[in-house]
Structure 1
């Protein structure tokens, strides 16, 4: 995961979000919660990967299941905005949004 951070931040190498996404994905697939969260951020913003809100939410969920506070917060925001999550009847479901946001503040 250190390689991913170096590429994402441009530390001692040229900044390269595609390489960062590659390394984050490898670490996330091995269960590293912070890598899953960071990969979700890249998907959310379209940095080094195509913008994909659904893939972002999937990675945020993966990290949230491991208790990552940032991922819990990101899930709450996704539910509030309806980005990358299914809306029930076209409206935003505020229950999961509030649950994820509360859990994130408990982790901090």
Structure 2
């Protein structure tokens, strides 16, 4: 056995551990990255659903003739039409009202 074989035999277990550690770290990073991106996409999906429901509620309010206030009618419509988005985003009543008010103002100069 020459010196290179001796060094290779001694270094092989350490090299294997180093490679295994690097692979483990890369897999962990990939899993976290996928989780981060997927979570972001889900939140964006819920946000888009919430905003679409607000706009549909506004249109429904315009189409019907009731004595309830615009904000109450739109808020009720939104809560009924996208309960998953409401549960996922957990907007407070004040935040939801602000979003509805902003949408009403921007779309209909209300």
Q: Which TM-score applies when normalising by structure 1?
A: 0.26
Report the TM-score when normalising by structure 2. Answer: 0.26
Q: Report which of the two structures shows the higher radius of gyration computed on alpha carbons.
A: 2
Greater RCO (CA < 8 Å, at least 6 residues apart): 2
